C-alpha cells in the first residue's frame, strides 16, 4: 500500500517536471511586451506625409505638409483637419505590442492581413487590410492595418514585406476617402468677432439681387473704461411690427453661419450653379477681449474687416449646396441642413 502510494506520488512529480520543461521550452526566447512600442525604429514626430490605400481602390488617400501646414493633395491642396491627423499620429506613436501572432501567410486572411501585390499595391480581390504609409523626409514605413481582435482589445497589424504579425493596442478607424480629412471649419473667425451681418438673396432666373435682404448688428455701448459690443444681434432698420421671436434669435443665426462645416471640395470654375444668397460678415480683428457675459470689449488696436460668402445650389444632378469665400479658388460643399439654417428670410425670425 505504501509502495503504491509512493509510485503515484513519483508519477505525479515526473509529470509536473515534464510539463514545466515543456512550457519553459515553448516560451524560451519570447519577449515580454510590457510597454514595448510598435514603432521603435521610426520617429512619428517627423512625419510630413501620410498615405492610406484601401484594398478595393488604386487611389491613395493622402495628406502632406506644405510650408509647415497640412494639406490634402487630392483635394486641390485644401487644408487638412490637423486635429484628426495629430490624433492618428499620436495613437501610432503610443501603440504597444500585445502579442506576437502568426508568421505564416496562409493564416493572414484570418487577421485581415493578406499579402501585398507587386508595386506596393494591395491585392484587391483578397486583402481586407488598409496600407498605411508614413513618410518622414527620406525615411518611410508601411504598416498593414487588419481586423480588430474579437477576443481582446486591439488590432492586428503587420509591417509591409515582413512575415511577423502582431496584436497591438491600436484603436483607430482609418478614413475611406479624402473628404474625411478635410478641415471642417470653413469660416476662420468666431462669433464674438462679428459686429454686423448683411444678407441678400438672389433671383434664380435673373441671377440678380432681389429686394429680399436684411442686416443685423450688435450695437456698441459706451462703458466707463472702454467700449463694448452688445451680447445679442438686432435687426437694423426694423419697423415697429418687426418683433423678433426672442432676444437671441439673430445671434443664433450668426452662430449657424460661423459653424457651417465642409463636406467636400471642388475648384470654383465656371459652372451653371445658381447663386442663392450672399452673406457679408463685418468682423473685428485684433484687440478683442472675450467677456463672460458674451460682450466683447474693444481696445485701440481693433480693426474692422469684411468677409463675403456666396451660397450656391446645384440641382442639375443630385441636389447639393456650396459656399465660396471671397474670390477663393474653392467651392465648399455644405450639408442641406447647414444651408437651410442660414438661408431663411427675415420673416422666419419674427413673431
The predicted pLDDT at position 153 comes to 83
At a CB cut-off of 8 Å and minimum separation 6, what does 224 contact? none
- Burial (0-12, 13-18, 19+ Cβ within 10 Å), 174: middle
The 10s digit of each residue's pLDDT in 234-254 is 999 999 999 999 999 999 999
Q: Which residue has the higher pLDDT, 211 or 1?
A: 211
Asked whether residue 129 falls in the same domain as residue 262, the answer is no
Q: Is residue 137 part of a domain?
A: yes
The predicted pLDDT at position 28 comes to 37
Query: How far is 154 from 97, CA to CA, in rounded Å?
Result: 9
Query: How far is 227 from 230, CA to CA, in rounded Å?
Result: 10
Q: Is the model's pLDDT at 180 over the cut of 60? A: yes
Helices (H) and strands (E) in the chain, counts: 5, 21
Confidence band of 208 (pLDDT split at 50, 70, 90): confident
Kind of pairing between the strands at 165-168 and 194-202:
unpaired
Q: Is residue 248 part of a domain?
A: yes
Q: Which residue has the higher pLDDT, 30 or 305?
A: 305
CB 323 within 8 A of CB 186: yes
Count of CB atoms situated within 10 Å of the CB of 47: 23
Confidence band of 15 (pLDDT split at 50, 70, 90): low
Query: How far is 63 from 76, CA to CA, in rounded Å?
Result: 11
Asked whether residue 167 falls in the same domain as residue 195, the answer is no
Q: Which residue has the higher pLDDT, 57 or 311?
A: 311
The predicted pLDDT at position 242 comes to 94
Mean pLDDT of 193-197: 95
Asked whether residue 240 falls in the same domain as residue 329, the answer is yes
At 295, give phi and psi (nearest 5°): -85, 160
Domain's final residue, options 175, 209, 229: 175
pTM: 0.80
Asked whether residue 254 falls in the same domain as residue 106, the answer is no
Mean pLDDT of 150-172: 91
Q: Is residue 163 part of a domain?
A: yes
Asked whether residue 158 falls in the same domain as residue 219, the answer is no
Please choose, from the candidates 138, 351, 93, the residue with its C-alpha nearest in 3D space to the C-alpha of residue 242: 351
Query: How far is 273 from 264, CA to CA, in rounded Å?
Result: 16
Asked whether residue 200 falls in the same domain as residue 345, the answer is yes
Asked whether residue 168 falls in the same domain as residue 296, the answer is no
Query: How far is 71 from 65, CA to CA, in rounded Å?
Result: 6
The 10s digit of each residue's pLDDT in 245-287 is 999 999 999 999 999 999 999 998 766 788 999 999 999 886 4
Query: How far is 284 from 227, CA to CA, in rounded Å?
Result: 13
Confidence band of 225 (pLDDT split at 50, 70, 90): low
The predicted pLDDT at position 273 comes to 85
Q: Is residue 35 part of a domain?
A: no
Number of domain units in the chain:
2
Asked whether residue 161 falls in the same domain as residue 235, the answer is no
Asked whether residue 241 falls in the same domain as residue 326, the answer is yes
The predicted pLDDT at position 187 comes to 96
CATH number at residue 261: 2.60.40
Asked whether residue 266 falls in the same domain as residue 342, the answer is yes
The predicted pLDDT at position 293 comes to 44
The predicted pLDDT at position 27 comes to 39
Asked whether residue 225 falls in the same domain as residue 333, the answer is yes
Domain's final residue, options 130, 148, 175: 175
Domain's final residue, options 175, 203, 223: 175
Residue 67: left (phi > 0), alpha (psi -120 to 50), or beta? Answer: left
Provide the residue range defining the domain that includes 52.
44-175
The predicted pLDDT at position 300 comes to 56
CB 88 within 8 A of CB 156: no
Q: Is residue 276 part of a domain?
A: yes
The 10s digit of each residue's pLDDT in 50-76 is 999 986 666 789 999 999 999 999 999
Rounded to the nearest integer, the mean pLDDT of the chain is: 84
Confidence band of 35 (pLDDT split at 50, 70, 90): confident
- Dihedral of alpha carbons 37, 39, 43, 45, sign: negative
Q: Is residue 31 part of a domain?
A: no
Asked whether residue 162 falls in the same domain as residue 202, the answer is no
Amino acid at each position: 500500500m505504501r509502495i503504491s502510494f509512493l509510485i503515484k506520488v513519483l508519477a505525479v512529480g515526473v509529470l509536473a517536471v515534464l510539463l514545466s520543461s515543456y512550457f519553459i521550452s515553448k516560451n524560451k526566447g519570447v519577449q515580454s511586451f510590457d510597454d514595448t512600442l510598435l514603432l521603435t525604429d521610426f520617429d512619428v514626430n517627423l512625419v510630413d506625409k501620410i498615405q492610406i490605400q484601401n484594398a478595393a481602390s488604386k487611389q491613395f488617400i493622402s495628406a502632406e505638409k506644405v510650408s509647415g501646414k497640412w494639406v490634402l493633395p487630392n483635394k486641390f491642396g485644401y487644408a487638412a483637419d490637423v486635429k484628426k491627423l495629430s490624433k492618428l499620429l499620436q495613437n501610432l506613436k503610443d501603440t504597444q505590442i500585445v502579442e506576437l501572432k502568426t508568421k505564416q501567410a496562409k493564416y493572414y486572411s484570418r487577421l485581415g492581413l493578406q499579402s501585398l501585390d507587386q508595386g506596393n499595391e494591395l491585392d484587391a480581390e483578397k486583402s481586407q487590410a488598409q496600407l498605411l504609409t508614413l513618410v518622414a523626409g527620406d525615411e518611410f514605413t508601411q504598416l498593414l492595418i487588419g481586423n480588430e481582435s474579437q477576443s481582446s482589445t486591439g488590432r492586428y497589424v503587420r509591417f509591409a514585406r515582413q512575415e511577423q504579425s502582431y496584436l497591438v493596442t491600436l484603436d483607430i478607424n482609418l478614413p475611406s476617402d479624402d473628404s474625411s480629412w478635410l478641415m471642417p471649419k470653413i469660416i476662420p473667425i468666431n462669433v464674438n468677432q462679428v459686429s454686423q451681418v448683411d444678407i441678400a438673396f438672389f433671383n434664380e432666373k435673373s441671377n440678380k439681387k432681389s429686394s429680399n435682404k436684411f442686416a443685423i448688428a450688435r450695437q456698441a455701448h459706451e462703458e466707463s473704461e472702454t467700449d463694448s459690443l452688445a451680447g445679442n444681434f438686432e435687426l437694423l432698420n426694423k419697423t415697429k411690427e418687426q418683433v423678433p421671436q426672442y432676444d437671441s434669435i439673430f445671434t443664433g443665426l450668426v452662430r449657424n453661419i460661423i459653424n457651417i462645416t465642409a463636406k467636400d471640395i471642388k475648384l470654383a470654375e465656371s459652372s451653371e450653379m445658381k447663386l442663392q444668397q450672399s452673406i457679408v460678415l463685418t468682423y473685428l480683428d485684433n484687440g478683442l477681449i472675450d467677456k463672460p457675459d458674451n460682450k466683447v470689449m474693444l481696445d485701440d488696436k481693433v480693426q474692422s474687416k469684411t468677409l463675403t460668402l456666396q451660397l450656391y445650389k446645384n440641382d442639375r444632378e443630385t441636389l447639393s449646396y456650396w459656399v465660396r469665400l471671397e474670390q477663393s479658388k474653392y467651392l465648399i460643399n455644405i450639408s442641406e441642413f447647414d444651408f437651410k439654417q442660414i438661408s431663411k428670410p427675415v420673416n422666419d425670425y419674427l413673431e
